[in-house]
Structure 1
């Protein structure tokens, strides 16, 4: 149902004219059907008609959608937006192609951006972090190129939460298709766009200085910490996490296979003890077979299951021994008898294990 609703929204976005109240109303209604609500926070400032460029933090690969639906904003298709809108279809949802990739230099991209701003009335939203964060702790270092195309911008803070679930918008590591899956099938997602006061370039102010002021403003109002981390450092972190996860999974698989093989060998000595109990004791003893055998024998719940009645030390009962066990009243004697019985069990189990696997262990 949600997939069909998204297709209908995509079709409506393609047909209805841009920057009209009807299109905005229909798009917001269809977003509600999909489980998305977009709120505007004007507690600090109203949406400016003077500034045509919004500067925002970056929290997911689909940040351009709430901006386009609510504010009719366009967004350049930079490397952080990897969703494959074929044949220019991304423009229906505000994603425009200005050639921001390895084939074009930054100067070429900025000249195209300035030309686009001159010939359109629609505002544009830029994400100077160039990579996503969770929007809760800190900001990646802002790049200065977004303010090279204009002298007047309005900072905004984009935040999102999912009231019913705790699924992150863009976890590390993730891909566009996994994020898109949760984007569609999460029951409810609430986006909030908080407007901040318009910031203008001071006389002789450089792009870096203006962007530093914008970054400090967004960090302060969003209660975020500005950092010196760059998108390339985040990419390296993702690669390390992927490698660590792959190593951990392969190590766990090897550890499990060895554990179960060892448990099967021990179970040949204790056929009446459940395999999962042996595996559990092996895990507690870190794979030590002799320690596991000792613990199984010492566990009172397994004492009656340790050996078959036909293989209990090959000892026949003495004819003079009484048929019913006698309770020893002395605690010291009872503990001595228990320790002696335990030692016999351990010695017998050790002997059987060594004989079974042909180990050359000095006695």
Structure 2
């Protein structure tokens, strides 16, 4: 059963990769959206600065920081639904500055949950990540798979997930947890493998610097992830549930790189860059989503599933990144942690 949202929707992390796509799609669908973007002295709305004029004119933008409980309460005024995407997500940077991940991902989520409880929202959608599963103990990975904090990032997200569900169990806060597998597409940070490969090739490089090639991932095109968020938000059945959003297709990093090179008509040599390797026990070796629960509860299905779907999604992504106006925003010569 779905429930078309009528009140104002607060989207945290609206300035980021997935958040900006979600914000734009919800505005197109007629939702009343308040976009929470991180405050900065440039007055930048992140990727929302690139949105069409008609999208930006329809937005209510709030600049703040989820680590500030007072600002969070102000942002939530008049909102009936929360889509919480704001987080620190770069795994290498979590080795560098783990304290900031606790502050942002756990304490920031707590601030939002406290404000949501006090204001009596009708839905709180919390964003998890497939990284909380760690290396697969069985595949495909169901929502019952054990949680393994193999990096400070994944540990902080496990903490945030547990905090969110504790508010559902303790205070009946209407929490739903969406757990997207490796989302890719236009606007993704070059700290992720697909953009780093595309930007290096697009910049004319023949030697592509990468980390481990053998781990497998379940790549999820951003359009599918966005539909997953909206379906979780609108479904009454999602309350109190953790729901995987993934394509149910496993592919190695190395094979993904070869597919990108084929799409871009490029002969490349892959060079292992030791600075891009995770510590041995921290590397997540295998991710492969079981998406049956999403199909059963939400009626959600991947439109970019299997190798053919991945190819279509990568073609869209390559087209966006190779546009000179977009490529100029990336530093292909530097390793983004």
Bigger Rg, which one:
1
Which TM bucket (shorter chain)?
Answer: under 0.3
> Which structure is higher in strand share?
2
Q: TM (normalized to structure 2)?
A: 0.27
Structure showing greater relative contact order (alpha-carbon pairs closer than 8 Å, 6 or more residues apart): 2
Q: TM (normalized to structure 1)?
A: 0.26
